[in-house]
Amino acid sequence: MRRSSGLLARAACALLLLTLACMASAAPRIGVMTMQPGEVFFERFGHDALVVADADTGQATSYNFGFFDPDEPGFIGRFIDGKMLYYLVALPVQQDLESYREEGRGVSIQWLDLPASQAQALADSLAWRAQPQNARYPYDYFNSNCATQVRDALNTVMGGALKKQLAGRSRGNTYRSESVRLASPAWWMWIGFDLGFGPYADQQLSRWDEAFVPMRLADALAQVKNTEGRPLVQQTQQLLPHTIAPEPPEAARPWWPWLLAGVAIAFALVALGKRHPRGVAALALPFWLLCTLAGALMLFIWFGSGHIAGWANRNLLLLNPLCVLLLWPAIKLLRGKPLSRFAAWVLRGVAVMAALGWMLHWFPFNVQANVAWVALLLPIHLAIAYVFTAQRGLSR
């Protein structure tokens, strides 16, 4: 009987010590910090970070996946090739917030309701990954950026539960629509995205894939549950106000204004060509130069880089690199000399390929959302070809 009492006493003592140990090392609090878009071009997509707050000291650490070093050897080459390396940095939250405060960018944090074991596992994983020898990761604009790193880290500690709740849902957005929307305040940036993306960028995204945008990830987290069936987001806290232009809203882009502009330009070129063909040549020369340079860049992206979003780009049919063969003939036209037979056939071929870019939309496979560019550029190609071949005739 005494032996049993002693065993019970020791067991109770061990249980008490274990309880005290758990209380002394309470699980950290996990948050997702979302930064609104800024005004500089590389800030247009917003940003985010994971926050780990120590339950005992209250000290909060920001784990930020958005760092890169432009001065490191080979950075430019990797940037061009689409194989950049970013790295994770751990820093105090207040220090991380300083630059966003100066830029007027709003910052909010979503405190998550994660079970203690998952919260501790995530904190340990982030601390390990933030070590210099583990911090680097291959960056991809859509599949491996600051937001997807946060998303994937959460999904891992949740045993895949986050992806299960988001992968089967879609709002119909695409990489193109999201990129063009967020880049729209900078006209040169959204035009570059819209012209430079191929069919890869037009696949409909699930809510999981859509979370490559930090603000979309924040929206998604607010709608999912943790592994115990409770809402994942326990509390949302505004850390900094947003004092600059807000995130661009979703808006449909009709193609008919582009068609009206293209047809108007085409009629103007035909009318000008009747009296002043050299005037048309003066306009055609920079247009063909633009087609040459843009087409060469698209070919390089497709065959010479890892930027898969730009592969198989149908805008090559509209900004055709074969226009390089028309640059010297354009100079001859400016001097009052007619096109050679070869140049005339090249010009016709360029116009036919631009028309092919329109006809490809008749087929349901490998769709690319470039109707607006077809509507604008096809009439221009046809008008120039008409002025210098059908209307003027061939000299030889």
Determine the 3-state secondary structure of 139 from DSSP. Answer: coil
Determine the 3-state secondary structure of 111 from DSSP. Answer: strand
User: Measuring CA to CA, how many Å separate 257 from each of 177, 270, 313, 375?
Assistant: 18, 20, 23, 9
Q: Which pLDDT value is given to residue 369?
A: 96
Residues 6+ apart with CB under 8 A from 82: 140, 305, 306, 307, 308
How many CB atoms within 10 Å of residue 140?
18
Residue 281 contacts residue 334 (beta carbons within 8 Å): yes
User: Measuring CA to CA, how many Å separate 17 from each of 10, 13, 25?
Assistant: 10, 6, 12
Instruction: Compute CA 239 distance to the chain's CA centroid, rounded to the nearest angstrom.
Output: 25
Q: Which residues pair with 62 in a beta bridge?
A: 51, 91
Q: pLDDT tens track of the chain, all 396 residues?
A: 434 444 444 544 444 344 434 444 689 999 999 999 999 988 999 999 999 999 888 899 999 999 988 878 887 888 888 889 999 999 999 999 999 999 999 999 999 999 999 999 999 999 999 999 999 999 999 999 999 999 999 999 999 999 999 998 899 999 999 999 999 999 999 999 999 999 999 999 999 999 999 999 999 999 999 999 999 999 999 999 999 999 999 988 899 999 999 999 999 999 999 999 999 999 999 999 999 999 999 999 999 999 999 999 999 999 999 999 999 999 999 998 989 999 999 999 999 999 999 999 998 877 899 999 999 999 999 999 999 998 654 333
Residue 276 token pair: 């002043």
Determine the 3-state secondary structure of 194 from DSSP. Answer: helix
H/E stretch holding 60 reads strand 60-67
Amino acid at 132: P
Determine the 3-state secondary structure of 47 from DSSP. Answer: strand
Q: Indicate the pTM of the whole model.
A: 0.89
Query: CA-CA distance, 362 to 368, in Å (whole number)?
Result: 11
Closest C-alpha to 184, from 245, 133, 228, 259? 245
Measure the CA angle with vertex 43, ends 42 and 47; round to 5°.
Answer: 120
Considering only the C-alpha atoms of the chain, give the largest distance between any 2 of them, rounded to a whole number of Å.
Answer: 120
Query: CA-CA distance, 149 to 64, in Å (whole number)?
Result: 10
How many CB atoms within 10 Å of residue 113?
16
Residues 6+ apart with CB under 8 A from 136: 85, 86, 87
Q: Which pLDDT value is given to residue 1?
A: 41
Q: Which pLDDT value is given to residue 139?
A: 94
Closest C-alpha to 185, from 246, 132, 137, 144? 246
How many CB atoms within 10 Å of residue 256?
10
Residues 6+ apart with CB under 8 A from 335: none
Determine the 3-state secondary structure of 252 from DSSP. Answer: coil
Query: CA-CA distance, 236 to 222, in Å (whole number)?
Result: 9
Work out the angle between the directed axes of helices 187-196 and 371-385 (0-180°, nearest 10).
Answer: 80
Q: Where are the domains of the chain?
A: 26-170+206-240, 256-391
Residue 48 contacts residue 214 (beta carbons within 8 Å): yes
